[in-house]
Amino acid sequence: MFEKQVLKPLPLGSGLSVMVVVIAKDRYPEAEHVFVYDNVTTHTKRRDDVANIVKMTLGPSSNIGDVIETCINEEGVEKKIRVRFSDTHFPDGSTQYFYWPGDHPIYGAEATKSLHGQFKGIAQLLLERGTNPAGLKLTCKSPQRYVANTHCCVRQVLSKQPGFIEQQSALEEIAEADGCRLLFLPKFHCELNPIEQCWGCAKRVYR
């Protein structure tokens, strides 16, 4: 009765979770469902089309996004098909586009370079939000030591902007869409997972 609801492709690590949500809500429709997950990359992964600041470049680029397919164009040159980021929003709620439109003017000394369809780059995204990125590096030497409310690099600045700071993992999106709650355990503390208590009880009984 549950197979038809998980036939379509799902984000990495979410297929089994969808089945669990469906089963739990079917068996206990009146209960409040809270799912607890270890804080590992397969659980915290976002959808492929969600903007990933770590993979963004400072300036324009046509090599942004994971490669999902390769093909040969009419000139016999191999072309990589990449996942495009879904658009985000400005602080006022209006749409901010990550890619230059197809009618963007050609630039360069001989007008041979084109930004058509290219990723804008973090610098341009910040300028559109009224923030001047001049003098800031793409990323810090120690990004894991970010200091809150500081402008140490453009990735840090953009990550604190509306449209980015509230991004959720694929699992969180799935849980909320079905009216469920989801909690991630602290990193490196998987022993707090309730399943550990079940295993401990089983060992005590059967050993």
**Residues of the chain falling short of pLDDT 70:** 1-17, 104-113, 142-150
With H, G, I as helix, E, B as strand and everything else as coil, classify residue 159: helix
Task: Print the SS3 string covering 54-90.
Answer: HHCCCCCECCCCCEEEEEECCCCCEEEEECCCCCEEC
The pLDDT value recorded for residue 173 is: 86
The pLDDT value recorded for residue 149 is: 52
The pLDDT value recorded for residue 175 is: 84
Could you give the C-alpha distances from 33 to 104, 181, 201, in angstroms and in order? Answer: 48, 6, 23
The pLDDT value recorded for residue 17 is: 66
pTM over 0.85: no
Contacts 24+ apart (CB under 8 A), 65-74: 65/119
The pLDDT value recorded for residue 102 is: 73
